[in-house]
Structure 1
Amino acid sequence: MAQITKDTIIGDILDIAPQTAPIFLSIGMHCLGCPSSRGETVEEACMVHGVDVNELLAKLNANMADAQ
C-alpha cells in the first residue's frame, strides 16, 4: 500500500499494517474487529469520532513509512 487516503477502508489498512491499530484506538475506535468499523473508510471513521481526517492520515502514513 503506497499511501493511505481518506477513502481507504480501515479493514484493508489493518490487514496490511496491523501495527496501525493503536492509532485507531487512540481516536476512540475501540471496536476494530467489528464488521462495521472494518468496512468504514478513514474519512467515515473520522466523522464518527470527531477527528480531523488530515491529522489521522498524517499519523497513519508516517507509521507506514516507519514500518518499511
Structure 2
Amino acid sequence: MFKVTEDMTIMEVLQKDRESAAVFMKYGLHCLGCPGATMESIGDAGKVHGIDPSKLVEDLNKFFESKA
C-alpha cells in the first residue's frame, strides 16, 4: 500500500492518485499546480501555510487506506 510521508512532495502524492487533491484542499493547499507543489515537501508546505503536516499526512494515509 502507498504510504505518504512528510518528506514527499505534494506532486508525488497527486501522481499516485489525483483524487487526493481533495485532502490537500481541505487543508487550504489550493495551489496544487504551482511550482511549490513539485519542489516543496509536505512538511515544508505545512510550515509555510501554518498547518500541521502530521495531521495532513495522517489524513492522506487514511485516504489511501480507503482506496485499498
Per the normalisation by structure 2, the TM-score is 0.88
Pick 1 or 2: higher relative contact order, CA cutoff 8 A, min separation 6: 2
Q: Which 4+ runs in 1 deviate beyond 4 A?
A: none
2:27 is aligned to 27
What CA RMSD, in Å, does the superposition of the two structures yield over aligned residues? 1.3
Match for residue 66 of structure 1? 66
Gaps of 5+ in 1: none
Query: What is the Cα deviation at residue 63 of structure 1?
Result: 0.2
**Could you tell me the TM-score, scaled by structure 1's length?**
0.88
Q: What is the deviation of 1:16?
A: 0.6
Amino acid in the other structure paired with 1:14? L
Gaps of 5+ in 2: none
